[in-house]
Amino acid sequence: MKDKRLVIYAVISVVLLLSPLFLNAYWVDVLNNVGLYTILALSLNIILGHAGLFHMGHAAFYALGAYTTAIINTTYHIPILWLLPVSGLVAGLAALVVARPIIHLRGDYLLIVTIGFVEIVRIALVNNVFGITGGSNGIFGINRPILFGWKINKPWEFFYLIWGFAAVTIFLFNRLENSRFGRALNFLREDDVAAEGSGINTAHYKLIAFVIGAFWAGMVGNIFAAKMTIIAPESFNFWESVVLFMIVLLGGRGSIRGVILGAFLVLGLPEIFRQFATARMLIFGAFMVAMMIFRTEGILPPLPRKYPIAKMLGREGSA
Amino acid sequence: MKKILFLALALCLMAGTAVAADTIKIGLMAPLTGAWASEGQDMQQIVELLADEINMAGGINGQKIEIVTEDDGGDPRTAALAAQRLSTQGLVAVIGTYGSAVTEASQGIYDEAGLIQVANGSTAIRLSEKGLNYFMRTCPRDDEQGLVAYKALKNGGYKSIAILHDNSSYAKGLADEAKTLLEKDGANIVFYDALTPKENDYSAILTKMKAANPDVVFFTGYYGEAGLLLRQKMEMNWNVPFLGGDATNNPDLVKIAGKEAAAGFMFLSPPVPQDLNSKEAMAFMTAYKKKYNAEPGSVWAVLSGDGLRVVAEAIKATGSTDQDKLVAYMKNDLDNFPGLTGQISFNDKGDRVGDLYRVYKVSADGKFMLQP
Amino acid sequence: MELFIQQLTNGLAVGGIYALIALGYTMVYGVLKLINFAHGDLFTIGAYLGLTLLTTLGLTNYLGPFGVVIVLALMVMGLVAIVGAALERVAYRPLRQSHRLSAVVSALGASIFFQNAVMLIYGARYKVYPHDILPRTAIHIFGLDIPLIRLLMLLTSIVMMIGLYLFIQRTKIGTAIRAAAIDQGAAKLMGINVDRVIMIVFLIGPALGGAAGLMVGLYYGQINFTMGWLYGLKAFTAAILGGIGNIPGAMVGGLLLGVIEAMGAAYISIAWKDAIAFCVLIIILIVRPTGLLGERVAEKI
């Protein structure tokens, strides 16, 4: 069973890896968007899927990362990819400051506070806060990233940058999921009080989850800024946060493969439905409802955690 | 499994877009969904109407034109995708789009693809200051309108002026432009702030503005908000004159405000075909009314029609669909082409030249009257 | 001072509408613990149905202005209630046993669906109510001009809210709703038909939202297909501010949010008004984590 799944994953990866060879620039760019949202949604998945915190303001951290990159790059001309960790740090730091006082709020109250946060960030950007965000015009003239002397410019070049980043993200987050930390998060998601009782400092863990998610979203903001070369507040409105929220839940909370599939569906379907012109979003909405009705826990919910004791014992026995 | 299906489906769809070589394909990028859907759908109607007319008359140099429409959703990310999609379909040119930020997200993509873009509603100054060879627009720029607004306010003899915008890239640009000019001239700006678009109740803003006691209010935002402002202003019994920017030029303004409240409202705009007695404008109005049984909405949608007509003219005159030749023709040789919105010529930056703006005033029975 | 009172009335009028929509959120949340993101779009549907009925039925020929409004309101409320109940049946009932966030995605999908359905049916342009339905007189008190309609609007909201409150507190159905809100399982054991209770909630909540839509249409005149999203978000904020699940809380939250917005616009900055409102909300929630009137729920162990 496990081997079969591995084969499927390998086939999908290879097809994806080769796809720029037989897709035109438009579809490659669709895949780029899917890739960006995959990474974003995976970072939200840590907060929403694993820690179970209702967070509907993820676009705020994404925006902070993108604006950090844009501002520093256009004023000091520091190469884009050097700013990758800086963008992450700014977003992570913001998450730490913002989340500290609100982390204890119960589900839906946290939801509205995070919505409030993303709106405050957007309004601040629109109103040209500190005179550095360029108001509603946004910031333009952002450089293209240069990787080992290769200037990344064309959609297919971005494709490999983005999906390379996505692969690293998937690997790291998979490790995180199966670490002590990941298990602790799942525990406090299922039962906050019991987790606290078992000696897990829940507020601390929730906060770390928040900061990791925000850090990652900030880094995606960096790549987004470099890809678009212009960023404006509209790209980071509340609706973007809702889209990310939908990706995680549609795919399956806490499931990496589910989230990836969710990103493909939420970003890809409106493109496929383009042939329906003005009715495309109507069909998309109906599709979402139908999907949730038929797969109530998301399309690919996480597999139950398995602890292969037999194997472990067997290994000990043979030793 | 689903992902494989997805990819397979994607491939099928792409295969379906094979090119038929005997037509001239022209793209239209417009906000068919989202907040500006009314503009986008109007753009589509007008461009299709004009394309049909051209084809009925035998096409351009014997070749029919085919319009390929893509939805930009009125948002930059969707627009970038729409632009990628259009730039892979063997088009000669792309008409559109409406919002400046949306156009900006697509500019680079068209330029890299060497595809002509003729924007119709994007008035932000910087769009044509980047040195992009293939970018043109049939609408005027904000600095031109800022100047006209400044003149209109100055000629009105207003001493203290309130400026209200809606924080959109376009409206803020215009407000800033006018403010700078007015302040240089020593006018007193007693109020300068932004409202939140798409709300229904602006009474708090009007109350605050009234307290500042301006002689005139210059609102640079869109017609929906302008209509509500006028209506609620009347309810407050406040009789201050209002001047609007060109985004208020939409007959729906009067519907929203009501005739009584809209009367006396002035706005700046390029002339709409209704007010031109040129042969082209009159023929267009007749055809539009016949096909859609209504009057065209805003001037911006009509400007997309002009975009198509200009491109068609260039193809006809040069007998070629080579982008460089077409751009060179439109920038250098096209002179006072009779458009639906007056005569059209372009400068080297691709901007439309000429004194386009007129001042309009709403009459007591809700008609837009061109002021001399 | 005059200015202050004027802004206060401005805020209360807007707040009344927020409160009316917030009631729908709160009622649904109280029973199902579901944030019904499609509620804002039911409000939009109410506004559009009101316009259709008004222009096609020709009620103004038979009735005076207030008669028209009352008949119209009843019809709109009835129709939107049916849409609401259908929404519950199709999009939410199959998800009742699953994680409550799943239903949120379904609600978001329904919201996208409704919004685009309205666009496709009515077109994307602004729609405008006829101007001459309601008298446009202003009352002159304390040197202020307050349009009569504004006062009536606020009054209508308050009357509806009090009516709802009494219905929930005093009637048998209301008691059943409260019981289902506290513990669905126990309510079932006591012989309450929980399915029916939920259906009733999905009739009342959307009906109030539809009424709010009609009010907005009649008073402001201009409606468009995206307006539900903004009003919905504001109303949801109001419901949380007052303590979600709590009916007086929705009233207080709505009115308060309207006033905060008006005051923020008047005394700080118009462009920052929504940010100010959210800042106040966040501060209130930090101090009172379950909203102004929300009950402090002990953690279950």
Q: What is the pLDDT along chain A (319 residues), one digit of tens a residue?
A: 567 888 888 888 888 888 888 877 788 888 988 999 999 999 999 999 888 888 888 999 999 999 999 999 988 888 888 889 999 999 999 999 988 888 888 778 888 889 899 989 988 988 888 878 877 777 877 888 888 877 777 788 888 899 999 999 999 998 888 888 888 888 888 887 888 788 778 888 889 999 999 999 999 999 999 888 888 887 888 888 888 998 998 888 888 888 999 899 888 888 787 777 778 888 888 888 988 888 878 778 887 777 777 766 766 544 4
Length of chain C: 301
Q: What kind of architecture, by CATH, is found in domain B143-269? A: 3-Layer(aba) Sandwich (3.40)
Give the pLDDT means over successive 10-residue stretches in chain B (372 positions): 49 43 85 83 91 89 89 84 86 87 86 89 84 89 86 85 87 87 86 88 88 90 90 86 87 86 87 79 88 82 90 89 89 87 87 83 86 75
- Say if C296 falls within a structural domain: no
Which pLDDT does position A36 carry in this prediction?
92
Provide the CB-side half-sphere exposure for A126 (13 A, CA): 31
Tell me the sheet residues that pair with C254: none
Distance from CA of B367 to the nearest CA of C (A): 17
Q: Tell if the CB–CB gap between B193 and C269 is shorter than 8 Å.
A: yes
Q: Tell if the CB–CB gap between A296 and C278 is shorter than 8 Å.
A: no
The third-level CATH classification (topology) of the domain covering B2-140+277-344 is Rossmann fold (3.40.50)
- Residue numbers of the domain that contains C275: 2-287
SS3 C139: strand
Q: Tell if the CB–CB gap between C265 and B204 is shorter than 8 Å.
A: yes
Which pLDDT does position B276 carry in this prediction?
77
Of residues C57 and A311, which shows the higher confidence score? Answer: C57
Q: Tell if the CB–CB gap between C99 and A296 is shorter than 8 Å.
A: yes
Q: Searching chain C, which residue's CA lies closest to the CA of residue B32?
A: C124
Facing C301 at nearest CB: one of A108, A193, A287: A193
Fold equal for B2-140+277-344 and B143-269: yes
Scan residues 50-109 of C and list those with Cβ closer than 8 Å to A: 90-91, 94-95, 97-99, 101-106, 108-109
Which pLDDT does position B261 carry in this prediction?
86
CA atoms of C21 and C39, how far apart (whole Å): 8
Distance from CA of C265 to the nearest CA of B (A): 7
Which pLDDT does position C172 carry in this prediction?
92
SS3 B219: strand
C143: confidence class by pLDDT, cuts 50, 70, 90: low
Which pLDDT does position B12 carry in this prediction?
44
What's the burial of C163, exposed, middle or buried (CB within 10 Å: 0-12/13-18/19+)?
Answer: exposed
Task: Dump strand ranges (E) for chain B.
Answer: 23-30, 64-71, 93-95, 116-119, 135-137, 160-165, 188-194, 216-219, 242-244, 266-269, 337-339, 342-344, 358-362, 368-370
SS3 C98: coil
Contact between C17 and C220 under an 8 Å Cβ cutoff? The reply is no
Which pLDDT does position A312 carry in this prediction?
66
What distances in angstroms separate CA C26 from CA A56, C180, C275, one per listed residue?
19, 14, 23
Counted domains in chain C: 1
CA atoms of A298 and A308, how far apart (whole Å): 26
Which pLDDT does position B20 carry in this prediction?
43
Tell me the sheet residues that pair with A279: none
Question: Given a cut of 70, is residue C299 above it in pLDDT?
Answer: no
- Identify the DSSP state of B185: T
| Domains of chain A: residue spans and CATH | 2-318 (1.10.3470)
The tokens describing B241, both together, are 């004159």
What distances in angstroms separate CA C89 from CA C111, C141, C199, one per listed residue?
15, 49, 8
Task: Report the candidate in A112, A241, A57, A99 with the shortest Cα–Cα distance to residue C238.
Answer: A112
What distances in angstroms separate CA C233 from CA B32, B218, C230, C236, C259, one per listed residue?
24, 30, 5, 5, 16
pLDDT in tens, C194-241: 999 999 999 999 999 999 999 899 888 889 888 998 899 899 999 989
C300: confidence class by pLDDT, cuts 50, 70, 90: very low
Contact between B298 and B249 under an 8 Å Cβ cutoff? The reply is yes
Scan residues 266-285 of C and list those with Cβ closer than 8 Å to A: 271-272, 274-275, 278-279, 281-282, 285
- Say if C297 falls within a structural domain: no
Q: Tell if the CB–CB gap between C270 and B252 is shorter than 8 Å.
A: no
Which pLDDT does position A314 carry in this prediction?
65
Distance from CA of A145 to the nearest CA of B (A): 16
Q: Tell if the CB–CB gap between B211 and C3 is shorter than 8 Å.
A: yes
**Count of A-C CB contacts under 8 Å:** 133
Q: Searching chain B, which residue's CA lies closest to the CA of residue C127?
A: B256
Q: Tell if the CB–CB gap between A285 and C113 is shorter than 8 Å.
A: yes
Q: Cβ contacts (< 8 Å) between A12 and chain B: which residues?
A: 3-4
Which pLDDT does position A1 carry in this prediction?
57
Question: Given a cut of 60, is residue C250 above it in pLDDT?
Answer: yes
Length of chain B: 372
Distance from CA of B313 to the nearest CA of C (A): 32
Contact between B210 and B178 under an 8 Å Cβ cutoff? The reply is no
Contact between C145 and B237 under an 8 Å Cβ cutoff? The reply is yes
Distance from CA of C281 to the nearest CA of A (A): 8
Q: Is A119 on the interface with C (CB under 8 A)?
A: yes
Distance from CA of B172 to the nearest CA of A (A): 8
Distance from CA of A187 to the nearest CA of B (A): 31
SS3 C102: helix
Dihedral class, residue C139 (left if φ above 0, else alpha if ψ from -120 to 50, else beta)? beta
Q: Is A243 on the interface with C (CB under 8 A)?
A: no
- Say if C292 falls within a structural domain: no
- Identify the DSSP state of B340: B
For chain B, list the contacting chains (3+ Cβ pairs, <8 Å).
A, C
Scan residues 124-163 of C and list those with Cβ closer than 8 Å to A: none
Distance from CA of C272 to the nearest CA of A (A): 7
Q: Cβ contacts (< 8 Å) between A126 and chain B: which residues?
A: 167
Q: Tell if the CB–CB gap between A25 and B13 is shorter than 8 Å.
A: no
C-alpha dihedral, C95 to C96 to C100 to C103, nearest 10°:
40
Q: Searching chain C, which residue's CA lies closest to the CA of residue A291?
A: C106
C43 CB-near residues (< 8 Å, 6+ apart):
C21, C209, C210, C212, C213, C216, C227, C228, C231, C232
Angle at C278 between CA C274 and CA C284, to 5 degrees: 145
Q: Tell if the CB–CB gap between A117 and C278 is shorter than 8 Å.
A: yes
- Say if C109 falls within a structural domain: yes
A217 CB-near residues (< 8 Å, 6+ apart):
A40, A43, A44, A58, A61, A62, A65, A91
Q: Searching chain C, which residue's CA lies closest to the CA of residue A270?
A: C112
CA atoms of A35 and A118, how far apart (whole Å): 22
Q: Searching chain A, which residue's CA lies closest to the CA of residue B103?
A: A230
pLDDT in tens, C64-95: 777 888 899 999 999 999 999 999 999 888 88
- Identify the DSSP state of B352: B
- Say if C300 falls within a structural domain: no
CA atoms of B222 and B38, how far apart (whole Å): 13
- Say if C272 falls within a structural domain: yes
Q: Searching chain C, which residue's CA lies closest to the CA of residue A113?
A: C282
Which pLDDT does position B14 carry in this prediction?
45
Which pLDDT does position B4 carry in this prediction?
52
Contact between A227 and A61 under an 8 Å Cβ cutoff? The reply is no
Facing C270 at nearest CB: one of B205, B211, B235: B205
A44 CB-near residues (< 8 Å, 6+ apart):
A55, A58, A213, A217, A244, A245, A247, A248
Q: For chain B, what are the domain ranges? A: 2-140+277-344, 143-269
Which pLDDT does position A316 carry in this prediction?
54
Q: What is the CATH number of the domain that holds C183?
A: 1.10.3470
Q: Tell if the CB–CB gap between C99 and A104 is shorter than 8 Å.
A: no
**Percent of the residues in chain C that have a pLDDT greater than 70, as a whole number:** 96
How much is the ipTM here? 0.84
- Say if C270 falls within a structural domain: yes
- Say if C299 falls within a structural domain: no
Provide the CB-side half-sphere exposure for B249 (13 A, CA): 28
Specify the residue for token string 């928040």: A210
